[in-house]
């Protein structure tokens, strides 16, 4: 789990360094590299790459692509730790959307934890003038889209092979990105090609390590480790990008993490099969 969070954190750094490259172009190359790896695995296992639930698979890919695109936009235009913190709201939207998609109940205790997390967002916005309302809303759209994508993954859990679900996410991202780059292509510089390659490679490393962690240990034991990614973001933001955070901003970030963690660990009945709520970095 530590290796997974580190891989995702370094990927975020590469995305932020690609500020000259449009976010959708980054999505295209990220999905292309991951899609090729998934395609090899599907072929090796001789699975039907088309799947059976085409509508749900395309919907999952669409929301996943939207979440990825909007998250990359926030990484390029907000401080690193702030963008990552907003994305950490996705488990809350996963649960809220699950009320309608999966008919799951939200307890009073969960609403309290959600309130703590959203209070943290208001603290960040209120005390950090560098956070514009526009990009804050873009970040929330990313978290909502992630929540929808995770619920669709859960709907597909017993209907499709996981690798087929992941493959369709990459295929939708490739298709959407291809349309964009045909209309607005920006040729990467040599070092930017390397960053794009590393984005795809680190994504795959993170996903493999995260999956192994969730399959090998109880969710309560690994969920906390997932939020070490925020510490990485703070360190990388200060050391690599010269970012500075006020005490009030750090308080807001802490409230978001505390609210989400409490909701994940104590806010709902424990179910060993639920893993998507911790995948805040894996859209």
pLDDT in tens, the chain (283 residues): 888 889 999 999 999 999 999 999 999 999 999 899 889 989 999 988 888 888 999 999 999 999 999 999 999 999 998 999 898 888 788 888 877 776 777 778 888 888 888 888 888 877 666 778 899 999 999 999 988 988 888 888 778 888 888 889 999 999 999 999 988 889 999 999 999 999 989 988 887 787 677 656 655 556 667 778 888 998 999 999 998 888 888 898 899 888 888 877 776 554 444 434 344 444 5
The encoded tokens of residue 230 equal 């925020």
Rounded Cα distance between 282 and 68, Å, is 9
Ramachandran angles phi, psi of 184, nearest 5°: -150, 80
Q: Give the Cβ contact number of residue 215 at 10 Å.
A: 8
pLDDT of residue 279: 43
User: Global pTM?
Assistant: 0.85
Ramachandran angles phi, psi of 48, nearest 5°: -80, 105
Rounded Cα distance between 1 and 3, Å, is 5
Rounded Cα distance between 172 and 59, Å, is 9
pLDDT of residue 218: 59
Q: Is 30 helix (H, G, I), strand (E, B) or coil?
A: helix
Rounded Cα distance between 276 and 204, Å, is 17
pLDDT of residue 1: 81
Q: Are 276 and 150 in contact (CB under 8 A)?
A: yes
Place of tokens 């660990």: 265
Taking phi over 0 as left and psi of -120 to 50 as alpha, with beta for the rest, 72 belongs to alpha
Place of tokens 């695995």: 41
Chain Cα centroid distance, residue 118: 18
């Amino acid at each position: 789990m530590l290796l997974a969070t580190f891989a995702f954190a370094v990927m975020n750094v590469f995305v932020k360094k690609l500020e000259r490259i449009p976010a959708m172009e980054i999505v295209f190359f990220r999905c292309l590299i991951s899609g090729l790896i998934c395609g090899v695995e599907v072929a090796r296992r001789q699975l039907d790459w088309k799947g059976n639930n085409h509508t749900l698979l395309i919907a999952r890919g669409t929301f996943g692509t939207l979440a990825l695109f909007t998250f990359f936009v926030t990484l390029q235009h907000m401080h690193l730790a702030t963008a990552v913190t907003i994305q950490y709201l996705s488990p809350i939207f996963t649960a809220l959307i699950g009320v309608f998609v999966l008919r799951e109940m939200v307890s009073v205790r969960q609403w309290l934890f959600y309130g703590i997390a959203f209070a943290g967002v208001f603290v960040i916005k209120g005390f950090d003038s560098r956070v514009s309302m526009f990009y804050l809303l873009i970040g929330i759209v990313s978290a909502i889209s992630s929540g929808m994508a995770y619920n669709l993954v859960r709907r597909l859990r017993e209907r499709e092979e996981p690798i087929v679900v992941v493959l369709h996410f990459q295929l939708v991202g490739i298709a959407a990105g291809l349309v964009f780059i045909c209309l607005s292509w920006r040729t990467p510089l040599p070092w930017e090609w390397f960053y794009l390659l590393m984005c795809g490679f680190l994504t795959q490393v993170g996903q493999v390590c995260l999956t192994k962690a969730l399959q090998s240990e109880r969710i309560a034991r690994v969920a906390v480790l997932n939020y070490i990614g925020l510490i990485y973001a703070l360190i990388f933001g200060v050391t690599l990008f010269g970012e500075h955070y006020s005490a009030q901003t750090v308080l807001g970030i802490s409230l978001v993490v505390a609210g989400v963690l409490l909701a994940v660990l104590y806010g709902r009945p424990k179910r060993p099969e639920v893993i998507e709520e911790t995948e805040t970095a894996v859209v």
